[in-house]
Structure 1
Amino acid sequence: MELIDEYLTITDSPAEGFYSEKRSKFLAFAFHVTTEEEVKNIVAEHRKKYYDARHVCWAYTLGADHSQFRANDDGEPSSTAGKPILGQI
């Protein structure tokens, strides 16, 4: 009997979310990516689109084995934004 790994991934359609607390707004976006270059382009687009955002925190993992990953807090206290995002992925 052959064992097959199964996992869930984001489809080709981006997902969005919004949360507000204590006069702060939090926007969330999830994209299907296959390369680090795609990640860099998406982050750059969002920095430009939301130029007035104080922080653009992000994380990604690539491959079924999650061998490539990275998280960025973008000025938030260390490990308080990017790392939790990565944990949810």
Structure 2
Amino acid sequence: MKDSYHTIAAPSTGEFRDRGSKFLAYAFPVNTEEEWQACAEKVKKEPPKARHHCYAYRLGLDGNSFRANDDG
């Protein structure tokens, strides 16, 4: 196990525009899959025209609980 690791301290957002497309990014500090699910449901409602919702998370000190999806 690692002696230290980086984690998200506070919710954050980002935006990137390229050739007429807008990409939104959200980061949330969560400790459980249930907390992540609540954040994911909230994000899916925010930009009503969004067609793709990609995500990734890794939980716990050992990092064995993780999931990623490129919505492709």
TM over 0.5: yes
- TM-score w.r.t. the length of structure 2 is 0.89
Aligned residue number for residue 8 of structure 1: 6
Cα offset, 1:32, TM superposition: 0.6
- Give yes or no for the alignment of 1:21 onto 2:18: yes
Q: Which moved more, 1:44-53 or 1:17-26?
A: 44-53
Task: Give 3-state SS (helix, strand or coil) of 2:57's partner.
Answer: strand
Task: Give 3-state SS (helix, strand or coil) of 2:41's partner.
Answer: helix
**Paired amino acid for 2:52:** H
Q: Structure 2 unaligned segments of length 5 or more: list them.
A: none
Task: Give 3-state SS (helix, strand or coil) of 1:20's partner.
Answer: strand
- TM-score w.r.t. the length of structure 1 is 0.73
Cα offset, 1:65, TM superposition: 1.3
Identity within the alignment, %: 48
**Paired amino acid for 1:62:** L
Give 4+ residue runs of structure 1 displaced > 6 Å after superposition.
none
Give the helix-richer structure, 1 or 2: 1
Q: String of CA shifts for 1:1-44, please: whole Å, max 9, x gaps.
A: xxx71111111x21111100011100111111001111111111
